Homo-oligomer: A and B are copies of this chain.
Amino acid sequence: MQIIEVHTKSRPSEVYCGAGALEEARRFLKDKDVFVVTDENVAQIYGGRIGEWFPKAVVCTVKAGERRKNRGTLFQIIDKMLEAQLHRNSVVAALGGGVIGDMAGFAASVYMRGTRIVQIPTTLLAQVDSSVGGKPAIDYGGVKNVLGAFYQPERVFCDPLFLQTLPPREIRCGLGEIIKTGVLDAKIGDRIAENASEITDLTFLREIVADCVRFKAKIVARDETESSGLRKCLNLGHTTGHALELAYGRRSHGEYVLIGMWLESLIAEREGVCTPAWAEHVRKLVSLAEKKIPTFENVRSVLRFALLDKKNAERGSVSMILPKCRGKYGELVLSAERYAEYLGLLQERRA
């Protein structure tokens, strides 16, 4: 097992990666006042075992799904926290995927202006990305992650045990963020390319999780609150990805990020931000997880959502992080009109 430290200004955070991480979580929570937030999927798979892992904990189980990452579920969790009379020294444990991690993390950040929080991510996406870095949020008013906080978990426990029960769709979702990290970090990108044929194997995934966490920890430590601009790089593929997710909402977050990276590699190439060869390399990585980019009808609503994105510094424009060349990336701001033209590429039928 590896222990990766995230040195942020607000609070140090430790990520335990590998077999035995769940045991570490149990040890850490043993003598504490614990409040577990989980969802019906996790509860169905692990059932009584949750009670065995955390014998004295109050367990709050909410409905599963990306669409539940909303105000209603947030207050359902908060109501239960109040009912359990949690104090600032109590520890909230998010046991689930990114949605649970986000909602429990946000609830913990506002409850009494901050209760302790640990993350026990059960999906590949959450292990590789969302559980680390302390950016919990909920969707509201049709905008992704528009209400949230910068709030570091004290510890994150990424145990490969949980990956065994994941459906293929969830694996592909996690691959979206893994491939994004591979575009940002050339060494990770090389490892993905070298292992192209077994990227869904658990042995490969187990190792790449720690690599991705280590990369993210470095970025987060240098720019916890996205103030220097450095952390923005983690949003590669996300401008279009998030807007697609809001406009269509049937695929998973990771898949939309893959599709977003695909479109944005074309934008990067045509805007002269990126060489054609590197853009091709990005699309090749994307294709490892998303064999065929789907065709979308009526992309106008995608533009509307992209304009509402909180990463935009100005109204009426769309800002995105684009790949430049090996190990390099940069921000580009496009006018709404220009971005709308590029969105048209998503409507074209592809071979």
Given contacts A79-B141, A140-B78, A141-B79, contact A109 B149 (CB under 8 A): yes
Interface: A114 (CB within 8 A): yes
Interface: A46 (CB within 8 A): no
Enumerate chain A interface residues (CB-CB to B < 8 A): 9-10, 71, 75, 78-79, 82, 85, 87-89, 109-114, 135, 137, 140-141, 143, 145-150, 225, 308, 310, 312-315
Write the chain B residue with the least CB distance to A75.
B71
B314 x A110 contact (CB < 8 A)? no
Top 7 nearest A-B pairs by Cβ distance? A112-B310, A82-B141, A113-B148, A110-B147, A113-B150, A113-B149, A85-B315
Rounded to whole angstroms, the CA-CA distance of A227 and B105 in the bound complex is 19
Residues of B within 8 A of A313 (CB): 87-89
Write the chain B residue with the least CB distance to A150.
B113
A110 x B308 contact (CB < 8 A)? no
Rounded to whole angstroms, the CA-CA distance of A40 and B75 in the bound complex is 28
Rounded to whole angstroms, the CA-CA distance of A315 and B89 in the bound complex is 11
A85 x B308 contact (CB < 8 A)? yes
Rounded to whole angstroms, the CA-CA distance of A143 and B83 in the bound complex is 11
Given contacts A75-B71, A78-B140, A82-B141, contact A87 B147 (CB under 8 A): no
Nearest chain B CB to A138's CB is how many angstroms away? 9
Residues of B within 8 A of A109 (CB): 149
Given contacts A82-B141, A113-B137, A141-B79, contact A87 B310 (CB under 8 A): yes
Instruction: Give the residue of B112, B137, B143, B225 whose beta carbon is less than 8 angstroms from that of A82.
Output: B143
A87 x B314 contact (CB < 8 A)? yes
Instruction: Give the residue of B78, B147, B149, B312 whose beta carbon is less than 8 angstroms from that of A78.
Output: B147
Given contacts A87-B310, A141-B82, contact A147 B9 (CB under 8 A): no
Residues of B within 8 A of A71 (CB): 75
Nearest chain B CB to A102's CB is how many angstroms away? 11
Rounded to whole angstroms, the CA-CA distance of A110 and B138 in the bound complex is 10
Rounded to whole angstroms, the CA-CA distance of A264 and B142 in the bound complex is 48
Nearest chain B CB to A144's CB is how many angstroms away? 11
B78 x A110 contact (CB < 8 A)? no
B114 x A225 contact (CB < 8 A)? yes
